[in-house]
Amino acid sequence: MNKYRLIDLKSGDVFKIVDFDESCKNFRQRLHDLGIHKGQLGQIINKSFFGPLEIDVDGRKLAIGRGMAKKIYVKKFECPIL
């Protein structure tokens, strides 16, 4: 299984969340508060050179900061499923 960081994907890429970086204790709680959990499917809506990544997870549009996106590990799907 190819494991990527969310920050490494580009606009339009489809992913499944597989793991989180555990270096920060509050990180998992912050993701839980946003409704982001392992096993969810999502898609990168917009990724520009600066600013947050816009993602769609389970039909909800969210903005994820680049620092957070570096700590979310995903499996990238080669063909769109959403």
> The domain spanning residue 29 has which CATH number?
2.30.30.90
Place of tokens 């039909």: 59
DSSP helix/strand/coil, 78: coil
How many domains does the chain fold into? 1
Per DSSP bridges, beta strands 3-5 and 72-77 are antiparallel
Q: Where in the sequence is the domain holding 10, given as residue range(s)?
A: 3-77
Return the structure tokens found at 5: 């960081």
Question: For each of the chain's 82 residues, which pLDDT tens digit applies?
Answer: 578 999 999 999 999 999 998 777 788 888 888 889 999 999 999 998 889 999 999 899 999 999 999 999 999 987 655 5
Which tokens is 19 given? 């793991």
- Asked if the structure places residue 82 within a domain, the reply is no
Cβ(59)–Cβ(82) under 8 Å?
A: no
